[in-house]
Amino acid sequence: MFDSLSDKLQGVFRKLGSHGTVTEKDLDEALREVRLALLEADVHYKVVKDFVAAVRERALGSAVLKSLSPMQQIIDIVNQQLVDVLGGGHAKLERGKNPPTVIMLVGLKGSGKTTTAAKLGLHLRRTGERPLLVGADPERVAAGEQLQSLGKQLSMPVVTGDASTKPADLCKQALKEAKNTSASYVVVDTVGHVQMDDEDRDTLRELRKLLDPTEVILVADAMTGQEAVNAAEQFNETVPLTGLILTKVDGDARGGAALSIRAVTGIPIKFFGMGEKADALEPFYPDRFASRILGMGDILTLIDKAKEQISEEEAESITQRMKKGELTLDDFLEQYQRIKNMGPLSNLIGLLPGLSQIKSRLNMEEMDESQFARIEAIIRSMTKAERQHPDIIDGSRRRRIAAGSGTQPQDVNRVLKQFKEAKKIIQQISSGHGSKITPFLR
Ligand SMILES: Nc1nc2c(ncn2[C@@H]2O[C@H](COP(=O)(O)OP(=O)(O)OP(=O)(O)O)[C@@H](O)[C@H]2O)c(=O)[nH]1
Ligand SMILES: [Mg+2]
């Protein structure tokens, strides 16, 4: 996420840290570099100006320079300022007084509205809601088909029309359908605009009046930088926006849109998209987001993601077995599946403090794809007994497993050795002797 901006900011701090003491001149030099890094990330110039001024004022005002750890405190101040720029606290999705709560998604063409409609649907269902998706873009047949197919993959109800249906009629029909099926949320995908003319504005206003949405959310492509900020302002003039969803934050967006859009428009960011898949939507927490930009990781999000994959009882049972050293290769495989479900490994690494800083140096893609696929194939080629008691794997079993997984016997050996070591370390940590293990690179 925003790798280039992250690297630059971390570089500034490393340089400051090498000074020992920090003079006002050092601070100004560092702030000049912060300013450049933000401008290069395409952050709005006014936001940059205010940001740097605020950090300087906070740093000088709180006698940071005379303190024992000036660098740490300057990082803290930059972090706090980032959190402020991103909106301070978490803005959650509102619920209407009477069900169903209607969420209207608007945005420029290709910004990710249809994908986000499906992602929101899944997010809502995971929190116990009953969402209905509506493709209010009937004129373009492919648009309806896209939403239908996403809904089918998620087994979620979708209402779309054909080319002769007017968006307004379709929305009326969808609201009725929502009542009949007791849907608790209606997520409405709308036409993407390239440039809005008066007619487009009227259509949007008409839909808004009819739907009476609790949330009108602009879906904005983070890769487009300041264009996304302009779009937010334009749409906000037509249909007052209640929130923003930034998409394609996983791509090589520079960060300008994310860091400017709230400050410029005053509209809170509610979620952000981290991929094309339906589960690649994360609630937006300014503090967690700032930590990620500064390479300090985001343990809370990692925990949330893990919780989605495992129930408390399962976690407890595994912890108990870990302590007793009873983990088997089956557990290994199961955990591996869970990690895989949590998203691409390269995204997860970004959530870990310290590791995120060396992410670019680890060839994550390769590790993700080939290495893990090989480990999985090897474990899958073992019999149940072998997975439970790897000690029984002798030379001939090893050859059979290697042949079955398209690998070499020494690859099988390596996996077994890694498993043994992992088991030992896990047992040490979980039985409380691991407190001496310091977080990597912290
Ligand atoms: N990498 C990545 N791709 C995304 C994300 N969100 C959407 N996309 C991709 O962006 C492209 C456009 O997404 P759509 O959902 O069709 O966009 P739209 O706003 O509905 O487009 P129109 O209906 O044509 O205006 C698709 O290829 C999506 O897979 C995201 O968070 N990350
Ligand atoms: Mg669409």
The 10s digit of each residue's pLDDT in 267-282 is 999 999 999 999 999 9
Half-sphere exposure of 164 (CA within 13 A, CB side): 0
Confidence of residue 249 (pLDDT cuts 50, 70, 90): very high
**Nearest residue (CA) to ligand 1, atom 14:** 112
Ligand 1 closest atom vs CA 193:
25
| 22: number of Cβ within 10 Å | 22
What the block records as the tokens of 112 is 């990710």
CA atoms within 13 A on the CB side of 11: 12
Distance 90 CA to ligand 2 centre (A): 27
**pLDDT at 438 exceeding the cut of 70:** no
Separation of alpha carbons 282 and 270, rounded Å: 9
Would the CB of 411 count as within 6 Å of ligand 1?
no
Mean pLDDT of 322-337: 81
CA of 178 to the centre of ligand 2 (A): 21
- For the segment 35-47, the average pLDDT, to the nearest whole number, is 93
- Predicted confidence at residue 440, as pLDDT, reads 33
Q: Which atom of ligand 1 is nearest to the CA of 219?
A: 19
Alpha carbon distance 46, 124 (integer Å): 36
365, pLDDT greater than 80: no
Instruction: For 175-194, write each residue's pLDDT tens digit.
Output: 999 999 999 999 999 988 88
Name the pLDDT band for 112 (thresholds 50, 70, 90): very high
Confidence of residue 147 (pLDDT cuts 50, 70, 90): very high
Give the pLDDT band (50/70/90) at residue 34: very high
Query: Cis bond leading into 100, ω under 30°?
Result: yes
Measured in Å, residue 353 CA sits from the centre of ligand 1 at 30
Task: Return the closest-CA partner of residue 270 out of 286, 254, 292.
Answer: 286
pLDDT value for 60: 86
Q: In whole numbers, what is the pLDDT of the chain averaged over residues? A: 86
273 in contact with ligand 1, CB cutoff 6 A? yes
What is the predicted pLDDT for the residue at 230?
92
Q: For every residue of 57-113, which 3-state class applies, written as one string?
A: HHHHHCCHHHCCCHHHHHHHHHHHHHHHHCCCCCCCCCCCCCCCEEEEEECECCCCH
pLDDT digits 0-9 by tens, 202-237 = 989 999 999 999 999 999 999 998 999 999 999 999
Query: How close is the Cα of 231 to the center of ligand 1, in Å?
Result: 16
Looking at the DSSP assignment, which residues form a beta bridge with residue 221?
Answer: 247
Backbone phi, psi, residue 190, to 5°: -120, 175
**Is residue 31 scored above 60 in pLDDT?**
yes
pLDDT band at 433 (very low <50, low <70, confident <90, very high): very low
Query: Measured from the CB, is residue 266 less than 6 Å from ligand 1?
Result: no
Question: Residue 91's pLDDT band (boundaries 50, 70, 90)?
Answer: very high
For a pocket test of ligand 1, which of 2, 247, 281 has the largest count of ligand atoms closer than 8 A to its C-beta? 247
Residue 109 CA to ligand 1 centre (angstroms): 9
Distance of CA 430 to the CA centre of its chain: 29
Please, which residues have CB within 8 angstroms of residue 162's CB and are 6 or more apart in sequence?
A: 138, 141, 144
Determine whether the shortest distance from the Cβ of 114 to ligand 1 is under 6 A: yes
Cα three-residue angle 244-246-252, rounded to 5 degrees? 160
Do 391 and 287 contact (CB within 8 A), yes or no? no
The verdict on the CB of residue 131 being under 6 Å from ligand 1 is no
325: phi > 0 → left, psi -120 to 50 → alpha, else beta; which? left
Alpha-carbon span 188 to 209, nearest angstrom:
13
- How far does Cα 4 stand from its chain's mean position? 18
Provide the pLDDT for residue 442.
Answer: 28
Question: pLDDT digits over 52-78, tens only?
Answer: 999 999 988 877 777 767 777 888 889
Q: Tens digits of per-residue pLDDT, 284-323?
A: 999 999 988 887 766 667 777 777 777 777 777 877 887 7
| Predicted local confidence at residue 436, as pLDDT | 38
Of the listed ranges 96-110, 157-171, 289-303, the least confidently predicted one is: 289-303
Pocket of ligand 1 contains residue 115 by CB under 6 Å: yes
User: Within 10 Å of residue 436's Cβ, how many Cβ atoms?
Assistant: 6
Confidence tier at 46 by pLDDT (50, 70, 90) = very high
81 neighbors 54 (Cβ within 8 angstroms)? yes
Query: What pLDDT shows up at residue 357?
Result: 58
Amino acid at 353: P
> Which residue lies with its CA nearest to atom 17 of ligand 1?
112
At 152, is the pLDDT very low, low, confident or very high (cuts 50, 70, 90)? very high
Would you place residue 364 in the very low, low, confident or very high pLDDT band (cuts 50, 70, 90)? low
pLDDT exceeds cutoff 70 at 439: no
Q: How far is the CA of 187 from the centre of ligand 1 (A)?
A: 16
In short, whether 223's Cβ falls inside 6 Å of ligand 1 is no
Q: Give the H or E element holding residue 270.
A: strand 269-273
What is the arithmetic mean of pLDDT over 371-399? 90
